Amino acid sequence: MKLDNNNHSVFMLHYHLIMCVKFRNKVIDDKISSRLKEIFEKIAPTYNITLEEWNHDIDHVHILFRGQPNTEISKFINAYKSASSRLIKKEFPQIRKSLWKEMFWSQSFCLLTTGGATVDIIKQYIQSQGKKDDKQSH
């Protein structure tokens, strides 16, 4: 397991972000997805975010990214949605006729934390702290 670090902490913060086009309009093709990814990669470092994986369907994108303890994720998502919407409509003007009132992204999004261990495993680990292992007591 590779951990990230800064001056005062060690961490591993992975997030799975899903963003949908407003009213699930089917406008994302490979070219638009590629441009959306480029915009993400350009804005992300400002917020201490690193892209890990990107994929899309015709009406939404899936993004796996790493953050840091000081990452302001909601501010990043809002900045990304605003910039990418503006740039996509400018660079792909034909897309405007497929959007509702020219809105590209839905206001809502899904953000999930991810990691190597399940919540149940972490709970068991925490609950076992301070207890002597049977093997050690013999």
Residue 101 has phi, psi (to 5 degrees) of 50, 35
Q: Is residue 134 part of a domain?
A: no
Q: Is residue 115 part of a domain?
A: yes
**Mean local confidence (pLDDT), 12-27:** 95
CA distance 96 to 31: 16
Q: Is residue 12 part of a domain?
A: yes
Give the number of other CB atoms < 10 A from CB of residue 62: 14
Q: Is residue 1 part of a domain?
A: no
Q: How many domains does the chain fold into?
A: 1
Q: Is residue 135 part of a domain?
A: no
- Residue 87: which CATH number? 3.30.70.1290
pLDDT tens-digit map of 35-84? 999 999 999 999 999 999 999 999 999 999 999 999 999 999 999 999 99
**Mean local confidence (pLDDT), 10-34:** 95
Q: Is residue 47 part of a domain?
A: yes
- Model pTM score: 0.85
Domain ranges, residue 27 = 8-127
Q: Is residue 66 part of a domain?
A: yes
CA distance 115 to 31: 30
Q: Is residue 121 part of a domain?
A: yes
Which residues are 19's β-sheet partners? 61, 109
